[in-house]
Structure 1
């Protein structure tokens, strides 16, 4: 892996030739975790498609400070296909696993789903924590576009959301069809909304809502999966099309 493969976040990618200082957390990561030196070439990104190759010009250790100079700037286009994950939340640290892995796999949007049998919900500090996890996952997977975070919603609001009118909607369901039975050529071209319910399953009322909508139930295997496992499996399946 080359030094240029090391990605660092900066709120706004500067023009070619400009000199700037990395934020403290990123400077610390560059100097202490990656142990890069003056002259190293790295990639910086702002989460909105702007990336640049930059050279480390100055490094200070106390306090940590990294100054870079932009060599070449590139604007990367957004993903051609939108993948919007709408998922119930697992408990505790498993939320971090979910957010980290689906970001690496390329979801473009994430909405926490509030269900009758939900065991966890969106807390006051959730958004800040999730944004930080998404940022680190983008750096790991070299994704120039940060996923968009949306407010917690109910299943009724999901199926009635006119903003997803052009999306094909799939829901993880042990009694659903295999994804191999669906039109893969069509799925490959369309934007997708992926729904994952709580581990206790959808309530009878929620099941009626799903069956009366145009959400397609998809089976992910023979077992009953944890929320984060189901989310990762579903995103992986559609991402491989």
Structure 2
């Protein structure tokens, strides 16, 4: 199967120009040459087949030979709203969430949060999302939102039709397989910081219709809880589609 590369733009021309990190990977890591076949995706659901027609030290020209129509995702929208872990653990969380097909990841600022990722760090994580999509075969890029305050995010999401789930060690082992009124409504997962959500934050979420879920008998790190929770949702969907 041809190697996949990310192209940041529409496929409205027969000639595409890869540059930057994607060109570097193609030329200097994979050592591909003129005449090799490639797959190109733009992160919006579109994908194209092509052949390398010309290369320079920092760029690659690709002749499009076939286009695949934009595909509507069969997966339910999955929004992961989480406090930010320290150090490189956040990059790992972003990478694994993108691999699992999380639709949108929202960094949260909660009462007990200790990490503010900053706008520059969030921008740098875009390449992590691209790499994860390439590795996992995703054709749509996960959206990484700006940092949002807990109360503002909860207020906004409560105005939408969704299933709201909050990770809480005191929660119940609820039935994640139970049917929902709208099978296309988004699932929103709420993950707190290392100290957990405050009692007031949990109660506020419950008042907005959230279901408190206990994921484990032990206490999980926030990135572990986030990926476990997201993985469970995607696993349930794959079982339903079987």
1:50 to 46, 54, 64: 46
CA contact (8 A) 2:51 2:65 kept: yes
2:69 pairs with 1:65: no
Q: Which residue of 1 aligns with 2:219?
A: 224
Moved more, 183-192 or 215-224: 183-192
Q: Which residue of 2 aligns with 1:8?
A: 5
Distance 2:53 2:89 in 1: 39
Could you report, residue by residue, the CA deviation over 1:134-169 in whole angstroms, capped at 9, with x for unpaired residues?
Answer: 111111111111122322222222332157521101
2:189 pairs with 1:194: yes
Give the 3-state SS of the residue equivalent to 2:111 in structure 1.
Answer: coil
Moved more, 155-164 or 97-106: 155-164
CA contact (8 A) 2:34 2:54 kept: yes
> CA 1:14/1:199 → structure 2, altered by over 3 Å: closer, same or farther?
same
- Structure 2 unaligned spans of 5+: 237-242
Q: TM-score by structure 1 length?
A: 0.89
Q: Which residue of 1 aligns with 2:123?
A: 128
Q: Which residue of 2 aligns with 1:41?
A: 37
Count matched residues: 234
> CA 1:162/1:224 → structure 2, altered by over 3 Å: closer, same or farther?
closer
1:94-173 mapped onto 2 (5 Å cutoff): 94-162=89-157, 165-173=160-168
Give the 3-state SS of the residue equivalent to 1:55 in structure 2.
Answer: strand
Q: Which residue of 1 aligns with 2:240?
A: none
Distance 1:122 1:164 in 2: 27
CA contact (8 A) 2:19 2:58 kept: no
1:208 to 203, 206, 209: 203
CA contact (8 A) 2:37 2:50 kept: yes
Q: Which residue of 1 aligns with 2:232?
A: 237
Distance 2:157 2:95 in 1: 28
CA RMSD of aligned residues (A): 2.0
Cα displacement (A) at 1:178: 2.2
